[in-house]
Amino acid sequence: MEEKAIHSVGPTGPDMAVYQTNLCGFLRVKYEHSKCLGDLRRGIEVGMKALQTLSPISVTYLRCVSHLGYSLVERNQANDIEEAIKLWNGVLATASFPPVYRVNLAVEAIPMLKKHGKYDAALKIARSGIHLLAKASPRSIQGSDQQHISRKYAGFLSDAAALALECHDSNTAVADAVSLLEEGRGILAGHEYQARQDLTRLKAAHPNEAAQFEGLIFQLNNIPSSSESYEAIEAKLREADRMLNALIERIRCFDGFKMFLRSPSTEQLYAISRKSGQAIVMINISFRCGALIIHNGVLKSVRLPSVYESVLREWVWKWDTSGAHGCYQVLEHLWKTITFPILENFGFQRILGEEASAWPRICWIPTGTLVGLPLHAAGLHRKEDGQTVTDWAVSSYSVSVKGLIHLYENAQNARHETNAKPAALLVAMPKTPNLRRLPNT
């Protein structure tokens, strides 16, 4: 169909580049099913021709780069991958395109570059995409299959953290990985657009700036009218982007908003670990699974070579659908592959019988599929030999380090305001669903 359209409009027809872009995309999809190199070569040929005539600030140009980049990486001849990287970076740096379009391009590029071991280039693109997430509209990253969309973006963030560990030396890798995860998870958490967390506080304290922020985000992500020229659209988007950057800097000058849409600094990571008296453990699930640990003024990583996302999904399914036997199996797997290697790295020992105040404390921050599994309950419960997390440490959870920082800041402010003493809330649960009643209850 597109081939016929190309022949019918002639070499200089006004819609030629659009048809060529569509054909490039069609041949890409065809190649994915046929694996015919002829389709790939033809797609690259028409895609290159389209780029020569398309305006570099048109949305069709971005679509063409998306199709062409994939095809170049798949062909992988001479400088194909370098050319694809150049095209992707060019689009990511162009303020003429809505932020969510550029984020999606980054999400699409990372798996292709990982496949060919181009980790440095992938990390640069991932970093650009994460920075753009803060400017993407909440509505623009939602859809009918919200679970799939959330998983896609969460996987992108985890890949970025894993890439940081692959590309850096040990002194900077963990800090960079934590920063990327925190920046992204500060925006995407719990299948919702987490920028609202900062925005809720902003609305309460500075409603005018909050309204301006939402308005500029809408402008940046609103699909422009086709009646406007590319130049007019570019001018509007660039001005909105400039105004948003200036507004964010102004908001960060307000008391209590220095961290607005920012990830914690290394100093803040150390400080919250000291204040909370906990070891903070972020578990990143990606092509390189590992734990990112903040403890006693040290940032380090523990590789978890026996953990795979596909296996984790099976564990989640078993945990949700199986009886007691299946649950015990999941808890044993968690212990052997995740929690015990981490506890052992800390140098913790079994502490059954000691005073609770002497027990070490761990704040778990799971990511991805692992969010649905109980790390605090992991262990070899059927052996009754103290090989469980509860025998080694006291556990708690947080969605992010930034969330932990806010929690302690709010608690400190509340104590100053009310002079109230800390209190605990205990909830009795004598009967657990699908398990026997506890003795003496």
pLDDT of residue 331: 95
What is the rounded distance in angstroms from the CA atom of residue 300 to the CA atom of residue 281?
A: 10
- Number of CB atoms found within 10 A of residue 392's CB: 24
CATH of domain 1-191: 1.25.40.10
Q: Do 1-191 and 266-417 have matching folds?
A: no
What is the rounded distance in angstroms from the CA atom of residue 378 to the CA atom of residue 331?
A: 4
pLDDT of residue 152: 84
pLDDT of residue 140: 59
pLDDT of residue 190: 37
pLDDT of residue 440: 55
CB 126 within 8 A of CB 180: yes
What are the per-10-residue average pLDDT scores of the chain (441 residues)? 50 75 93 92 95 90 96 94 97 90 95 95 96 77 60 89 89 89 74 58 92 91 71 86 95 91 87 88 94 90 92 91 85 96 82 63 91 92 84 90 81 62 72 70 55
Residue 224 Cα distances to 110, 204, 220, 227, angstroms? 27, 31, 9, 9
What's the number of CA atoms in the CB half-sphere (13 Å) around residue 330? 24
Token readout for 405 is 């920082």
The region, left, alpha or beta by phi > 0 then psi within -120 to 50, assigned to residue 440 is: left
Token readout for 423 is 């209190």
How does 258-270 read in b/e, with b if 16+ C-beta sit within 10 Å? ebbbbbbeeebbb
CB 142 within 8 A of CB 149: yes
pTM of the model: 0.83
The region, left, alpha or beta by phi > 0 then psi within -120 to 50, assigned to residue 291 is: beta
**Residue 355 DSSP label:** -
What is the fold of 266-417? Answer: Nucleotidyltransferase; domain 5 (3.30.420)
**In the chain, where are the structural domains located?**
1-191, 266-417
